Amino acid sequence: MSLKASMRLALALAVIMGGMTQAQDTPAPGAAANTDDPYLWLEDIHGARAMDWVKAQNAVTQKQFADNPAFTHTRDRILEVLDSDARIPYVERRGDYLYNFWQDKAHPRGLWRRTTLEEYRKTEPKWDVLLDIDALNKAEGKRWVFKGSDCLKPDYKRCLLSLSPDGGDAVEVREFDIPSKSFVKDGFLLPVAKTQVGWIDQDHVYVGTDFGPGSMTTSSYPRIAKAWKRGTPLSAATTVYEGKMEDLAISASHDRTPGFERDFISVAHDFFHSDTYQLKDGKLIHLDVPTDAAMVDPHREWLLVQLRTAWTVGGTTYPSGALIATKFDDFIAGKRQFTTLFVPDQHTALSNYAWTKHHLILDVMDDVKSRIDVLTPKADGTWAREDMPGAPTYSTVSVVDTDPDNSDEYWLSVTGFLTPSSLERGVLGEGQAQTIKHSPTFFDASKYEVSQHFVKSKDGTEVPYFEIAPKNVKLDGNNRTLLYGYGGFEVSLQPFYSGSIGRAWLDRGGVYVIANIRGGGEYGPRWHQAALQANRPRAYEDFAAVASDLIKRGVTSPAHLGAEGGSNGGLLMGNMLTLYPQLFGAISCEVPLLDMKRYVHLSAGASWIAEYGNPDDPKQWAFIKTFSPYQNVKADAAYPSVLFYTTTSDDRVGPVQARKMAAKMEGMGYKNVWFYENTEGGHGAGADNKQAAYMHALAYEFLWDRLK
């Protein structure tokens, strides 16, 4: 695994969309002292009293919205999309093979499989099935959910597989042998835990996991990184780095790039600050770059740094959002001259980048739409630049895979709101990429059109949003409109094709809108930082401004305007409910944060202090309480109908916040509050396509019904 991939894995542990922690089975520390909260008993996740309440709530919600032909029709139409054999089987190259994980009606838990490029080009390629998860579950009497693989290059014969017992993020890790298609007897095996693991060589791995008391940070992630030798007990693994309890997460990785083999330690202090060390001959060499750098990427002879804030070094100031490069060995030797590869402006931001063997591909957002640039390092230290052919209007083009050790091959995903996704393959220097696979058309896109609008938020900032609506839509305020948002953790909401949304919302005559509010990454670090901590309400003001603009333009009216968001977007929904109830007729609040007073004591909450602030600090609670829905909900208010849904196995945000909010509102006498909790699926709300279809259909049917 490259350092870039390893660091992304380590930092992703803290993301509210991708954290990894155990859900708590009993009330969190400090619960007993919080006597003003009568719903603390719901924090006992698997407790009998709490689960009886969940079952009763589920029965009421299911009877109201799921026990009817309309729901069944919507669910089945969504499931057809998710299970379609014509979907694109996205692949990852590993040596001579293309690997894919596939779920469908016949294989609900999925097949891990591979094929060759020659076969993959065919309409119906032949796949070599490596592991059938459904067959594994039958043989072991389990309900495993596949969570990914890490295979040892360059021959990729041995892999470390991650299996979740319930769809959550805590996983069991097992070593798997590709030639025999079997788990390795007496191979590397780690019990279910919050684990980070990666290959050093065939007989050694780096591992961070729950080694016992004190081995995890207060954020519930690995505090200690160890090197573990095959054939020895985990207790004999050698510590290579030990972090502090208040650190977020520690991870170690080995870069196996031929000729550039190196070892690194990543110390994430919080979600936005980390230190990187090269581990060489038993000594740590600190990479002296800003701790808030978004990316520190040693790759072959290069060191790339992506900046969150401006950095003055070597007599030059590099701006926030820039991507800069230097020779790795020169940097270690003390030189500090960088070449600027990308600088954002008011309209652009770097979405991502990917190496091939001889080139660097940049994925740039220009007013939230895609542009691809190709950079090539030259012998004189400069970089040549050329544009890749443009994408369709209002689309997203992203690099989904490359083969940087061996070739200049690249794979592109091309998608848009009304354009079914396609997968293209190309080799830089050998002409344009060729389309290999097409997603089927799941709804008639010819009836709709996409437009982009900008509206001024409360402080005058222009906020973009995308609108997908029937052509010549009547601006009479009567259109059922669904407004979706997220607004956090530098996550950007770009154009994408969704057969589920097309079938469940657009085909019924609805309008679908995505708000690119602050807190996201649509305009780089500045867009995210504008809504951090005390400035979090800017995100909510932006979303409310978009809602108001839709009403002002006559697209919809409050009675016909619904809102949807999950995770951090669930917190957004909670604030729309409590701060801007007059704008909405219904809100779907999914796997949400809501109790910002106690969030640091629930599941992975301590990981996100850098985003929201620490409510245990009275000075910070003074601003956090202004956007804590659980504390701000009041009796006798005119709230819109609201659905809270979550999962028992969600070990990122956890189910307790949605439970408590629903119970509190019902305790206040509100009748338009609905709750549903799936048992499996983790933070994604579904362990298989059937469960995912059910949850999506429930949200859409609730919104459609309430927005009459």
pLDDT digits over 533-571, tens only? 999 999 999 999 999 999 999 999 999 999 999 999 999
Q: Tokens 């609201």 — which residue?
A: 642
Domains of the chain as residue ranges with CATH = 40-80+442-706 (3.40.50.1820)
How much is the average pLDDT of 458-462?
Answer: 98
How much is the average pLDDT of 263-274?
Answer: 96
Asked if residue 2 has pLDDT above 60, the reply is no
Predicted confidence at residue 370, as pLDDT, reads 92
Tell me the pTM.
0.93
573 sits in which H/E element: helix 568-579
Predicted confidence at residue 35, as pLDDT, reads 54
Active site (annotated) includes residue 407: no
Based on the number of CB atoms within 10 Å of its own CB, is 474 exposed (0-12), middle (13-18) or buried (19 or more)? exposed
- Bridge partners of residue 463, in order along the sequence: 455
Which of the following is catalytic: 254, 560, 683, 696? 683
Task: For helices 656-667 and 48-65, give the axis angle rounded to 10 degrees.
Answer: 70
Predicted confidence at residue 290, as pLDDT, reads 98
| Mean pLDDT of the residues in the chain | 93
Which of the following is catalytic: 149, 567, 628, 641? 567
Strand residues in 471-616 grouped as ranges (E):
481-484, 511-515, 561-566, 586-590
Predicted confidence at residue 390, as pLDDT, reads 63
- Bridge partners of residue 92, in order along the sequence: 99
Q: Quick one: DSSP state of residue 8? A: H
Which of the four pLDDT bands, split at 50, 70 and 90, describes residue 32? Answer: very low
- C-alpha 176, offset from chain centre: 26
Predicted confidence at residue 16, as pLDDT, reads 34
Q: pLDDT tens-digit profile of 355-401?
A: 999 999 999 999 999 999 999 999 888 999 998 866 667 889 999 99
Which amino acid is residue 93, in one-letter code? Answer: R
How much is the average pLDDT of 208-229?
Answer: 95
Q: Name the residue among 380, 388, 336 with its Cα closest to residue 362.
A: 388
Which of the four pLDDT bands, split at 50, 70 and 90, describes residue 34? Answer: low
Strand residues in 307-382 grouped as ranges (E):
311-313, 316-318, 323-327, 339-342, 348-355, 360-366, 369-377
Active site (annotated) includes residue 107: no
Query: Which of 405-419, 481-495, 674-688, 690-704 shows the lowest mean pLDDT across its residues?
Result: 674-688
Query: Which of 6-10, 48-52, 213-217, 287-291 shows the lowest mean pLDDT across its residues?
Result: 6-10
Q: Name the residue among 384, 419, 443 with its Cα closest to residue 494.
A: 419
- Bridge partners of residue 387, in order along the sequence: 373
Asked if residue 28 has pLDDT above 90, the reply is no
The fraction of the chain above a pLDDT of 90, given in percent, is: 89
Predicted confidence at residue 604, as pLDDT, reads 85
342 within 8 A of 350, measured Cβ to Cβ: yes
CA distances from 591 to 104, 232, 391, 612, 654 (A): 24, 40, 34, 17, 8
How much is the average pLDDT of 158-171?
Answer: 93
214-245: string of b/e by CB count within 10 Å (b at 16+)?
Answer: eebbebbbbbbbbbbeeeeeeeebeebbebee
Which amino acid is residue 244, in one-letter code? Answer: K
662 sits in which H/E element: helix 656-667
CA distance 561 to 483: 7
Residue 373's contacts (CB-CB under 8 Å, 6 or more residues apart) are 342, 361, 362, 364, 385, 386, 387, 388
Task: For helices 568-579 and 537-552, give the axis angle rounded to 10 degrees.
Answer: 60
Asked if residue 19 has pLDDT above 50, the reply is no
Asked if residue 594 has pLDDT above 90, the reply is yes
Q: Tokens 């690249």 — which residue?
A: 410
Which of the four pLDDT bands, split at 50, 70 and 90, describes residue 51? Answer: very high
**Whole-number CA gyration radius for the chain:** 25
CA distance 279 to 200: 13
Residue 201's contacts (CB-CB under 8 Å, 6 or more residues apart) are 152, 254
| β 395-402/295-299 pair status | unpaired
Asked if residue 7 has pLDDT above 60, the reply is no
Predicted confidence at residue 391, as pLDDT, reads 61
Q: Quick one: DSSP state of residue 432? A: S
154: cis peptide before it, omega within 30°?
Answer: yes
Based on the number of CB atoms within 10 Å of its own CB, is 498 exposed (0-12), middle (13-18) or buried (19 or more)? buried
- Give the torsion through C-alpha atoms of 269, 241, 23, 518, to 10 deg: 20
Task: List helix spans (H) across 13-96.
Answer: 48-65, 69-83
CA distances from 15 to 194, 219, 328, 459, 609 (A): 14, 12, 29, 28, 11
CA distance 476 to 115: 53
Predicted confidence at residue 1, as pLDDT, reads 30
Predicted confidence at residue 447, as pLDDT, reads 97
Predicted confidence at residue 381, as pLDDT, reads 82
Q: Name the residue among 242, 241, 253 with its Cα closest to residue 205.
A: 253
